[in-house]
Amino acid sequence: MNIKKEKDALNPVADQVEKSIKEKSQKAEEFVHNGMGILEEVFSKLLEVRPKEIRLKEMNDKERGEDR
């Protein structure tokens, strides 16, 4: 453990870079996670709308006498 602390103390620039990379990585992960949540919400709303549109189209086809 002491060797690691000594190594870290000898290279403060590398420590700062590592810390910065970890922070940016966490922010990027959060951003992607939020984006995936938004996409999931949009797709679920699209799936809720789609069956209604299909039923309406089928009803319109039946009214015209165009059974599938």
- In this prediction, residue 3 carries a pLDDT of 61
For position 11, what pLDDT does the model report? 85
pLDDT of residue 63: 67
Determine the structural domain holding residue 28 and report its residue range: 2-64
Tell me the three-class secondary structure of the chain, residue by residue: CHHHHHHHHHCHHHHHHHHHHHHHHHHHHHHHHHHHHHHHHHHHHHHHHHHHHHHHHHHHHHHHCCCC
- The 10s digit of each residue's pLDDT in 7-61 is 556 788 889 999 999 999 999 999 999 999 999 999 888 887 766 666 666 667 7
Q: Is the pTM of this model over 0.95?
A: no
pLDDT of residue 60: 72
pLDDT number for residue 33: 97
Number of domains in the chain: 1
